[in-house]
Structure 1
Amino acid sequence: MKFEYEYTFGLPRNIVWKYIKDEKVLRNSLPGCKSFSEVARGVYQAEVEIKMGPIQDHFVLEIRLHEKKPSSIIQLQVIGSGNIGEISGKAELYFNDQQRMTQLNCKAEAQVTGALALAGQRVLEGGANKGLETFFQKVEKEIKRSLYYLKKKSR
């Protein structure tokens, strides 16, 4: 399954780039996240609860972030398993300046197995798009929250 997603952050690219790899921001932004920790540089372990229509499961994920081009491209790999299947995927996130904002383009592909694969491509794509939308909205909110507390501390 391949898909693309776009999101515009109301923040400059250097700020988005700095915080999009922050463990706290990621933990607080990942939908259904039960635990999240960095186990090595750029490697994270997460437990998430996934709900897509009639599908509900608890997944353990390994997420690897690699800066392919500093402040412009992040390569992401995810592998995980739950009770109803396994998922593996990769994505490239492209960050571009857009009038003091940041345009993010995500190109991804994923493979699912088990009962999860039986859900059908439409359900999975719809769930993936909704999950990405929620994730990036929460990332932006978490970045703004971090900046607010940073300003408050410096006063």
Structure 2
Amino acid sequence: MEMTGSRALAQPQQIVWDALNNAEILKACIPGCEKFELTEPNTYAVGTAIKIGPVAARFQGKVTLTDIVAPSSYQLQFDAQGGVAGFGKGSSRVELKPAGAGCELHYTVSSTVGGKIAQLGQRLIDGAAKSLAEDFFRRFEEELQKRHPAAAQAPAAPATAEPASSGGLPTWVWVAIAAAVALGLVILR
């Protein structure tokens, strides 16, 4: 699965960068996230519970940050196992650019999956990915506004995501983080 998106955020680039590198904030914002812990420099152990259609599972994995250019961008590599439900792996690129008093977050995600979850229809997977990304960004913006209310003068524009069908698991915003997404986003990866 390939997915790209962007989000206008009311907070300055440095505040958003700090939040995207805060394990506590990411754990609170990633849908279904049960664990997001730093295990070594730039490497996190992640655990999340998700449900896509009839498949529900707990995924355990690792997220590694590379190509870090603070406070502008980084690359995420992720690998997750969900037992009989399957596995997901891939990468995400997150970029922040100043935009007025706030900043713009851009992300790309590329992922592949195997197991039962890979047998779900692409339309269902794409829909779940978009929903998880939007949920991550909603939570992320709420957390930023709660922690930095003075910086949040104007409401942010909605996220845009364009999943492309290439057979994969939705990207779980570690992106968005993750993705996120990402970005984490947790978009199921």
Fold conserved between structures, TM > 0.5: yes
Moved over 3 A (4+): none
Q: Give the Cα separation in 2 of the matches to 1:81 and 1:100.
A: 40
Deviation at 1:144, TM superposition (A): 2.8
More helix by share: 1
1:3–1:125: 8 Å Cα contact kept in structure 2? no
Which amino acid letter does the alignment assign opposite residue 105 of structure 1?
A: H
| Segment of structure 1 superposing worse, 137-146 or 9-18 | 137-146
1:40-92 per-position Cα deviation (integer Å, ceiling 9, x unaligned): 11111111011223221111021112353221111111100103100001010
Counterpart-to-counterpart distance in 2, 1:30 and 1:85: 20
Q: Is the strand fraction higher in 1 or 2?
A: 1
Cα distance in 2 between the residues matched to 1:7 and 1:130: 15
Offset of residue 147 of structure 1: 3.2
Q: How many residues end up aligned between the 2 structures?
A: 148
- One-letter amino acid matched to 1:119: L
Is 2:13 the partner of 1:13?
Answer: yes
- How far apart are the structure 1 equivalents of 2:129 and 2:42? 23
Unaligned runs of 5+ in 1: 149-155
Deviations 1:84-113 (A, max 9, x none): 100001010111111112211111110000
Aligned to 1:144: 145
Please, what is the CA RMSD of the aligned residues? 1.5
Q: Structure 1 length normalisation: TM-score?
A: 0.88
- The runs of 5 or more residues in structure 2 that have no matched partner are 150-189
Q: Which residue of 1 aligns with 2:121?
A: 120
Residue aligned with 1:11, SS: coil
Q: Which has the larger radius of gyration?
A: 1
Q: Give percent identity, aligned residues only.
A: 26
